[in-house]
Chain A
Amino acid sequence: MLPASVYTWLETTKVSQFFQSSTYTFPVTEVLHLIWLMILLGATTVVCLRLLGYGLPQAASTIHSGIWAWTWIGLGLVWGTGIILLIAEPSKLGANSAFAYKLWFLSAGLAIHCLGYLFLLRPGRAEAHPVLSKLVAVMVIVCWFGAGVAGRAIGFV
């Protein structure tokens, strides 16, 4: 998804070399990446279930207003820790096909989150667009869970 020259350049930066020489930076960051992904998944799954007509009985906008901070913190820290992981192992990740899938899932997830998900979570919108709500909910779930599974597949490809 990114040009090979970006990974090669990243590898030569001082910050990447520092991360590469550190024993604990990668594992600690990966654990934090996983934890924030779980929190993001939990917060979005509950809202998506409502958009699909299941789960909590309140409107999707009301549910989202109760957990919006967790969604944004999760999203920000998943990307933040993900960037640190990329800087720590640029060449390995750049050559990994599962990482490419993960990037696609993450980028698509972020785009749908900003363009569709947040649009539908304003009061009354989800109820006014039931078909679009279901479509967006399925796409959000596929993208975030797909990113998680693709992320785990990086170790096997």
Chain B
Amino acid sequence: MWISILQWAEWLQNTGGSIAIRESTLLFPFIEGAHVLGIAISVGIIVLLDVRLLGWGLRNTAVSDVFEKLRPLALFGFGLMFVTGLLLFWSEPVLCVTKVSFLVKLGLLALAGLNALIFDRSVYPSVRNWNTAGILPSRAQFAGGASLALWLGIIFCGRWTAYF
């Protein structure tokens, strides 16, 4: 399976789009800049959502207000981050799939998505019962703590990929 993934990455790296991004003087830095901007918007807001769930800040603001007003912005940032991330991967797929930190980042991204899905389906529907509480139910706190740890790990692995 590993060989076929590597072969696919080599094929992808030789496509016209991949070569164009990699060899362009302006395109790669532009996409990378937009990627950083997307991360800054999405992770900056996600951290605040997590801080509210953990009771570490915004205690005077209702949980539903924090989520309903700020989540669209976090999703916009995530969309920008995701699209530009795909383009960056397209430009150097072989390098990416052979880096442990990149593979760990993908795993952490999947776990962050799963954590958000579980929170959305099984914890958030009962928000009316604890909307204005300073200290939230343990399941909500756990979701916030897990999200915070996973996103910090994603940033760590993403930047680490450039070094090792």
Contacts and interface: CB of A to CB of B under 8 A. Distances in A.
B90 to A, nearest CB: 18
Contacts of B39: 38
Main secondary structure of the interface of A (DSSP, over half): helix
A52 to B, nearest CB: 12
Interface residues of B, number: 34
A46 B68 CA distance: 13
B94 interface: no
Best-buried of B39, B44, B48, B164 by chain A (most CB within 10 Å) = B44
Nearest to A32: B156
A83 interface: no
A45 B48 CA distance: 10
A118 interface: no
Best-buried of A41, A153, A155 by chain B (most CB within 10 Å) = A41
A57 interface: yes
Nearest to B47: A42
Best-buried of A40, A45, A57, A63 by chain B (most CB within 10 Å) = A45
B80 interface: no
A11 B70 CA distance: 44
B57 A145 contact: no
Contacts of A149: 33, 36-37
A108 interface: no
Given A45-B44, A66-B57, A67-B51, A56 B70 contact: yes
Given A38-B40, A66-B58, A70-B57, A56 B66 contact: yes
Given A27-B163, A57-B65, A152 B33 contact: yes
B47 to A, nearest CB: 5
A152 B69 CA distance: 29
Contacts of B155: 31, 34-35, 38
A156 B29 contact: yes
Given A35-B155, A149-B33, A55 B69 contact: yes
Interface in B104-146: none
